[in-house]
Every structure is written in structure tokens, then in C-alpha cells.
Amino acid sequence: MKFKIGFSAEAPNETLPLVVTDHHSVVAPKQSVVQVRFPGRGSSLAYYNDRFDLHVGDMVYVDGKLEGQRGVVTEVSYNFKIKVSDYKRVISVVNTEVHGEFFMAGSHFVSFDRNALPAEQAITWFKAPEKEGDEYLVGSGDDNSFRLDDLKGMKISSAIAERGHEYYMENKVRYICLDGFRGYAIVEGSEAYEVEFEFHNGEIRNLICSYFCSYTCKHEFAVMLQLRETLEVIEKHYAKQYEETGYFAAVHKGTLFTFAVDGKDNGAFKL
């Protein structure tokens, strides 16, 4: 049996797809001092904000000692007198607005709409935006390739394969997409790692991970297992939708609800 979930900002009895404007970008920012709780650290600190229209429940990144840690706004104050140099600032707000149609795909939801949850939005759920001036280098790749239906071709040790399988079973591949031949995934381990690859005619090439090591890592192996599973589900249930767009994005069910549903006080979704 096939199911799909559609997110909507309309009344529950409406059938229109979600069309949401991010309030952070359309409302002129009002200076505020916000209290931000960092669940991973068990601490809460105050920050100055002059860039965003913030609300309780917003997920943000800040500068200072907790740079790179995602926090949740718990209080917003507009009446204050502070010495600005004593306060660190909110530097970005996580975009949790999701729109479009998602289909059940095992442990994940899958969409065939490039605008539903693009990779550049999904990564902000796990990592702070890059600093201006940050430079990344990507090697030119090599001729190593392997078949997705025969992962022995990855030539990894049994220990790494076991750890990668554990990551896969624990649904640590939070997001994976394939646009034409180009693939991308986010694996949440001790931090969020990005995996990129090319997939064509059943063959994987140019597999790389932001966790550098001189051999194929557990994150890459976990992504290959998730890719194989997702493509099998798509072929069985959603071949027509995939053929029409040549694209899919799959997000772990818990991840989607944590970021796109939990904490929202308006909107609707239907099953």
C-alpha cells in the first residue's frame, strides 16, 4: 500500500500544497536580546540580535564560544539596555519551512520535487553557514568505481563495513538526494558529514566524504546502503514520479518532524 504526506499552510480541509514565505526574510528585523538554549550542551545564554525577526522556537546559530552549535530561542526581549560589546550575536536562522509532497519510503520520506527540501537547505539543519573566506579544495578524483549492487567493490575492511552498517541501521543517513548523476548525503555522527558521489548505470564514481581519511570510510558505506534501499523502494512504488523528474530527496522521518513540524503553532499536514 502506498501513502504520501502533504504539508500545507492552509486549513486542514484544504488540498493546496504548502506555499510559505519565511518570516525571517520579509519582516524588518527589530533589535532584541534573545535567550538561546543549546540542548547538546545543557546550557542557555543571552545573545544580541539585529539581523532577524526572531520568535520563540526558532533554531539559530551564534558566534562566540558556542559557534557551530545549533540552539533554540526560548525568550525574546525588546526592552533592554546593554553594552553591545559584551554580547555575542545571532548569525543565522535555520530555515525549517518545508513545502511539497513527500512519500513513504521505509525509514525516510522521499520527494521528487527539487524545491521541497533542497540539499542547501537540509545542511543548515545540521551545520552553521560557512564563514566568509573559508576555502575548500576538492581533488580531481580517480578512476575507482564499483557497482551499487555489489558493495564488495568498495574494498573496505570488515570493521569499517560493520560500523557503516550500524550507521545505516541507526538511520544516521539523515538526508540523501540524487539529481541526475550527482548524489549528495548528510550523515550525522560525532558531527554532520557530507558525502558526494556520482551514480550512473548502476555504477558509483568519485565517492568522497568531508571526513577525510585515506580509505573509504563508514559514512560513505552507510550512504551506499541507504542509496540502495531508497532506489529499491522508488523502483517498486514510485518509478513514474522518479522518471518524470530524474530527482529524488529522501529525509529521515524523525529528522523531518523534528525540524519541519515540531514547535510549529500553525499550518497543517495530511495523510
Where are the domains positioned within the chain? 23-93, 100-261
**Per-residue pLDDT at 13:** 40
**Mean pLDDT, residues 46-69:** 95
**Per-residue pLDDT at 16:** 33
Instruction: Please tell me the least confidently modeled range out of 17-21, 112-116, 149-153.
Output: 17-21
To the nearest 10°, report the CA torsion of 211, 212, 214, 215: 20
**Per-residue pLDDT at 261:** 87
Q: Write down the mean pLDDT value for the chain.
A: 87
Residue partners of 61: CB distance under 8 A and separation at least 6: 67, 68, 69, 70, 71, 90, 91, 92, 94, 128, 129
Calpha distance 187→174 (Å, rounded):
6
Q: Tell me the per-residue pLDDT of 215-238, one tens digit each, with 9 for 90 and over.
A: 899 999 999 999 999 999 999 999
**Mean pLDDT, residues 120-142:** 75
Residue partners of 210: CB distance under 8 A and separation at least 6: 193, 194, 195
Highest-confidence range of 126-130, 152-156, 166-170, by mean pLDDT? 166-170
Q: What is the pTM for the complete model shown?
A: 0.86
Q: What is the 3-state secondary structure (H, E, C) of the chain?
A: CCCEEEEECCCCCCCCCCCCCCHHHHCCCCCEEEEEEECCCCEEEEEEECCCCCCCCCEEEECCCCCCCCEEEEEEECCCCCCHHHCCEEEEECCCCCCEEEEEECCEEEECCCCCCCHHHHHHHCCCCCCCCCCCCCCCCCCCEEECCCHHHHCCCHHHHHHHHHHHHCCCEEEEEEECCEEEEEEECCCEEEEEEEEECCEEEEEEECCCCCCCCHHHHHHHHHHHHHHHHHHHHCHHHHHHHCEEEEEEHHHHHHHHHCCCCCCEEEC
The length of the chain in residues reads: 271
